[in-house]
Structure 1
């Protein structure tokens, strides 16, 4: 019998502070959010029926009345049509402000469930159970919720912190390898912007970092460190006024890739390419040296993440980048590094510099 992995708890401070619990057996903590007659919408992605059933059992044992609903997989869940269908279900079941929404699945489902909770009766409580690496280190922490539109990703949303985040590493073991590796991009991002120890851990044994079965304790350590980075930033900037933008390192170009590719790219894969792109921009702007630029390519490729993109799409990508949430008017703003763990913002970089950086990643 496999020994349980030690749990770690990271506190996300703020006006509505909450805890992120990572480790074996954390599902039992869902009982703290059950009470007699409380209605609970349990939203889950395909393939998570068993976990949704276990969550419903925990809630029922506490006297709650769970309503379990499956939604489409991945980004297909984050549509206005799915959102409206869940609102209808909440109305049919008579959900009130005292009730709860639980999201089970990857980042798309936790984003959706969070926005359902944020928008129903102007806000009900939510708890998220991320079952993907990307979900726990990125989407589940910080209270950003939302859905996609035809014009872009996450353009409709709200800040609505959950009451708790629960992640058992065993839930990650059923992830396809490519999806797990994709999630590592957000972990590695935290290493570049704030915690270089993450990079050291990954570089020391990239094979173990890329395999949730190989070293469970290492997985918990990487998750906890990445969550701590995000928690620290979120606590200092709840509404993404300034500091929180550093969490979008690599994301401006990544979101452009996702839009141009009609969301067929994994988010983490796009972020990996996006980080190499902004590293190229920063290097050409004289902000980072060649060694740090090379380190981006080395650590990302070591775990199997992509570090290049195809040529011939610059006009479409540049148009998509102009819609980025960090832009102000017609001014493009990129999160870049001016050294390891030293992020800054580069405003209005020249068009020639941007295109040169694109050419450098299309080899």
Structure 2
């Protein structure tokens, strides 16, 4: 009978430790162990019974007790315990301690997971929208002009023209699609050699204003080719200064790719299919502001012709001018090539107005 009792107590212990994963709160643990100890206490009430006390044989039971109640060799029930009921209580108490310790580890891990999830959801919920995402499209209606459209949206004429590459203000047509910026300012694409700090100085606006307007997470990671909306920035080249056909062709050759949508994105210039080593000429006189390697563009030259007007020449094999140098219209500035992200020998040519690439064919003569 003593063996049967011991087996029963062992099964109880296994049930306690085995079911710990289903006890998730302190209240549940308290109720569970209170019930277990209540069952065990019934054995203490039977100590006075002769049948119960005679079961204990000192020599045999000691070895059995050590074997039965030693858990993983980590502890043994004190052989001074007087009866089986007290031994069971000690076993239950140790099991409860083990159970609570493991539950604490499990609960702590669960809390960390929950907090990480809440933090992630919080981060997503407060993500700021860029002003670029708020640009709208306006379809030109009968009787509208650039001035009436600008007034309708609360922006100035330079903001409207600059966002839409309008070379001739008198040639808009019914049904034309115009981009409408959400605020006064300009669209600007970062050139090789530029960063947010140099752009902020150039247009006399704060770096914080640029970062906020464009929802930039890390200003140090912004790369050339990125488009920005510069709120409040004044165009360096206004609509009154626009004069068509001021530029000459930089090379003589077939145009292999035009300005506009290409391969799922906008192609910001035109490509001339020419052999490597073809002379590349300045499309207009100006000062060289960049002449070196640029990621994606290969060997590149950028010339500023006046405030707000620049040209870019990319994928060259050799550069023949340096930064700060003044060049005349028609002067050879580089030899064409196939450097950078290029699918074959060609010259990539851009005209930029206020930092925004425009269709060169509207300005070449």
- TM norm. shorter chain > 0.5: no
Structure (1 or 2) with the greater strand fraction:
2
Flag the structure with larger Rg: 2
Q: Which has the higher contact order (CA 8 A, sep 6+)?
A: 1
Length-normalised TM-score, structure 2 = 0.27
Length-normalised TM-score, structure 1 = 0.27
Structure (1 or 2) with the greater helix fraction:
1
